Amino acid sequence: MRTKTSLLVGALIAASIIGIVLMSGCIDEKTAETPKPEVTPVKEEAYKTVTDMRGKEVRIPKEPKRVVAISNGFIDTTMFGFGVKDSLVGIGGCPRSDSDREYKYITKTYTYSGNTYTGAILYPKIKELPNVGRPSTGINYEEVASLNPDIVIIRRWGISTTEEFDKIVDAIEKLNTSVVVLNDPNCYDRPEISTMYKEIEILGEVFDKQKEARALINYLDKEVQFIKERTKDVKEEEKPNTLFFGLSSKAREKGGVGNVAGVDSIESIFLEDIVNAKNAYRGVGRVVMSSEQVLALNPDVIILPTSYGYHTPSELYEDEAFKNIWELKAIKGRRVCSISHTSCRSVRLEFPIDLMLEAKCIYPEQFSDITLNEWVLEYYKGLYNVDDNKAEELKKAQLLMWLDEEGF
């Protein structure tokens, strides 16, 4: 027979067991109701924002992998300099021809391929990329969409109105891709080299190549400042009257002898601001002139730009089409100079070459220590970090082979 004491002890033990069980059940229930939150790692943001030359903030991938570059060689050659050329999947700009062409410089005839240009020499695969067109003649939007780009970079040039260009940009944006807009210096009322430097800065931000962009700008500006320093002391009355004279067959079809660039043109502004010479034509715009009008200007120096083809002094010196202006001081004094070939007029990374050609032709004494053939090769080697052979190819692409024989 149990004692009261043993019964009491048993009851207490049972109560303790029940309490432990109940307590255990409460803890389990509470744990089930409020589980510990799972810690989810925050992924790194895959996008960034850049401000383009519209002043618009554009959301783009941090590392663009599929890029369509619509320009006349400026964007893709800058990308080559940045080391990001492999991200190109499409380009836009002037169409190219595979047919061979030729030009004559004084006594020698040179042959070149219409499909040889800076971008193709630096990155041969670029010739295999689809060309999606250009703003002035139309963009192939279906082609752009088929390339599935994560960014389209388009440079405004040669388009008549901002409204037209904006429609093109809007159409590309509707393809669900980011669009970064750059402006060629020609887009401004008064073109300045600084806007081109801004383009390079923006491309540096797009590709996270800010250091390379700054180095490129410094390289270009070094040559600009070199020319300005050499000519800064030339007095106003000593500046040769220089005429940008386009020997376009189109001008002759209209009854003129050629076309000239006015003081508001980018050629004239750079000539006067950097080379420190004077434009012989003080009007504005690009004007077709008769022989009588050109004779009245009677320039000291003539610069021949690309104008519906590449033109050399030989045309002015020998072609009967220009016999009515053979009495010009520039022609009689053999002070006619061709600048490099630029199809679809726009400012590219080669612009210091043209400035140096102009400076050497206009001021031979100030630049007597510069042999242009050597200077051009060194410029290309420094610009694109290429060897001698590649620099020679680039010089040939700009149709500057004549520098070899001129000792210019």
**The pair of three-digit structure tokens given for residue 128, joined into one six-digit string:** 């295999």
**Among 35-39, 45-49, 100-104, 172-176, which stretch is predicted with the lowest mean pLDDT?**
35-39
| Superfamily for domain range 233-357 | Nitrogenase molybdenum iron protein domain (3.40.50.1980)
Instruction: Tell me 218's DSSP state.
Output: H
User: What is the biggest distance separating any 2 CA atoms in the chain, rounded to whole angstroms?
Assistant: 148
Report whether pLDDT(105) > 70.
Answer: yes
- CATH 3.40.50.1980 assigned to domain 47-95+131-208? The reply is yes
DSSP per-residue string spanning 311-343: --HHHHHH-GGGGGGTTSHHHHTT-EEE----S
Cα of first residue to Cα of last residue in the chain, in angstroms, is 132
Average pLDDT over residues 193-219: 97
Instruction: Measure Cα distances from 262 to 183, 234, 237, 246, 360 in Å.
Output: 21, 22, 20, 12, 22
Average pLDDT over residues 58-87: 96
Residue with tokens 């180095």: 215
Could you give the CA distance from residue 193 to residue 184 in angstroms, rounded to a whole number? 10
Among the residues of 42-127, which ranges form H helices?
74-82, 118-122
Report whether pLDDT(58) > 70.
Answer: yes
Per-residue pLDDT band for 202 (boundaries 50, 70, 90) equals very high
Would you list the domain boundaries of the chain? 47-95+131-208, 233-357
Residue 36's pLDDT is 43
Residue 155's pLDDT is 95
Could you give the CA distance from residue 23 to residue 15 in angstroms, rounded to a whole number? 12
Report whether pLDDT(17) > 50.
Answer: no
Per-residue pLDDT band for 342 (boundaries 50, 70, 90) equals confident
Report whether pLDDT(14) > 60.
Answer: no
Residue 353's pLDDT is 95
366-398 as b/e: b if 16+ CB within 10 A: bbeebebbebbbebbeebbebeeebbbbbbebb
- Which pTM value belongs to this model? 0.86
Report whether pLDDT(27) > 50.
Answer: no
Residue 345's pLDDT is 62
Report whether pLDDT(87) > 90.
Answer: yes
Could you give the CA distance from residue 27 to residue 47 in angstroms, rounded to a whole number? 46
Report whether pLDDT(1) > 70.
Answer: no
* Average pLDDT of the chain to the nearest whole number: 87
**Among 61-65, 110-114, 263-267, which stretch is predicted with the lowest mean pLDDT?**
110-114
Average pLDDT over residues 370-381: 96
